[in-house]
Amino acid sequence: MRCAVIGSGSWGTAIARHLGRQDDVTVTMWAHSAHVAEGINERHKNPSYLQDAQLAAGVRATTDLVACVSGADAVVYVTPSTHLREVARASAGALGARTPAIVLTKGIEQGSGRLMIDVVSDEVGAPERLACLSGPNLAGEIARDLPAASVIAARDKTVGAFFQGLFHSELFRTYLSDDVIGVETCGAAKNVVAIACGIAHGLGMGDNTAAMLMTRGLAEMSRLVQASGGNPLTCMGLAGMGDLVATCTSPRSRNFSFGEGFARGETIEQYGARTHMVVEGYYACASIRELAARLNVEAPLTNAVYELLHEHRSLDATIQSLFERAPRKELYGIAGAR
């Protein structure tokens, strides 16, 4: 089987390594940078991301997107959310009419409110052959073969089962779901909560604060998933609580570490220049805020992060506004909650 991995950042590299170790699977990676493609082909390592991760000999790279996708038996999209539509559109002509594709990018498109799987569907057609994967998957740990798990969501059970078989391994367990909306929404929203947790940690706040932000963030995610037509119980699974814990507590989480740096005065531009990483939560807080307003869902944590990052409101004023909110029932706005 030949898999095309569209993206060569940390997550793309970790996934290409994982798939390349499977029996009878060869991987072609698409890299935007010729330097990255050369390093992968000549030294079997990505010179820019996860530099110590050894890639299998069957993993190759190219800067030619059409060549990467042409003839592939499966396609994995793992580019930043801000570039996904452009990349999907450029790959559409080379993608086989029925070739299954899976989206690992996490986010919600600003302006349209489209989930990442729907962004790809808009451009490549045949939405029934698409799936998405999400979960507590810090790329560096996947590249070190540390035990982990993810959930794969697809509207077609056959497609879900296909990708479950492709990704599942002894140390990387995969579970199935038909709640594409819930899985995708959780994958985007948890990054916003992680930024909030990073800010709190950077300000010297304690574990109680982190736990409060994660659980209130989870409630916010559940309201948004329900209003979008998903199952709020999905938020209790790998794409929700699982990913939330990993992203909100690990210094290896780019969203958490950005939040920590932001609390010390670092800007998004400075963080990007220092780490060469995209902070998905920076963009997601804007699109989730738009979506929540359209669906009439209360999203105080998302609004607070947006005000800090995009409106440059002071930390003191933002924290004060959150704590001055009128007290409510704990699980308000969630079906079945009492």
Q: What is the set of active-site residues? A: 190
The DSSP-derived string for 210-276 is HHHHHHHHHHHHHHHHHHHTS-GGGGGSIIIIIHHHHHHH-TT-HHHHHHHHHHTT--HHHHHHHH-
- Helices (H) and strands (E) in the chain — how many of each? 15, 8
Helix axes 280-295, 254-263, angle to 10 degrees: 90
Instruction: Give me 127's structure tokens.
Output: 């939405």
Nearest Cα residue to 115 out of 99, 129, 131, 101: 131
Query: Which region, left, alpha or beta, applies to residue 24 given φ > 0 means left and ψ of -120 to 50 means alpha?
Result: left
Vertex 8 angle, CA 4 and 10, to 5°: 125
257 Cβ contact partners less than 8 Å away, ≥ 6 residues apart: 198, 251, 271, 275
CA dihedral 212, 228, 185, 96 (to 10 degrees): 170
**What is the enclosing helix (H) or strand (E) of 39?**
helix 34-43
323 Cβ contact partners less than 8 Å away, ≥ 6 residues apart: none
State how far the alpha carbon of 318 is from the alpha carbons of 273, 302, 314, in Å: 27, 11, 6
Question: What span, in angstroms and rounded, lies between the C-alpha atoms of 248 and 222?
Answer: 17
Query: Which residue has tokens 């559109």?
Result: 89
319 Cβ contact partners less than 8 Å away, ≥ 6 residues apart: none
191 HSE (CA, 13 A, CB side) = 27
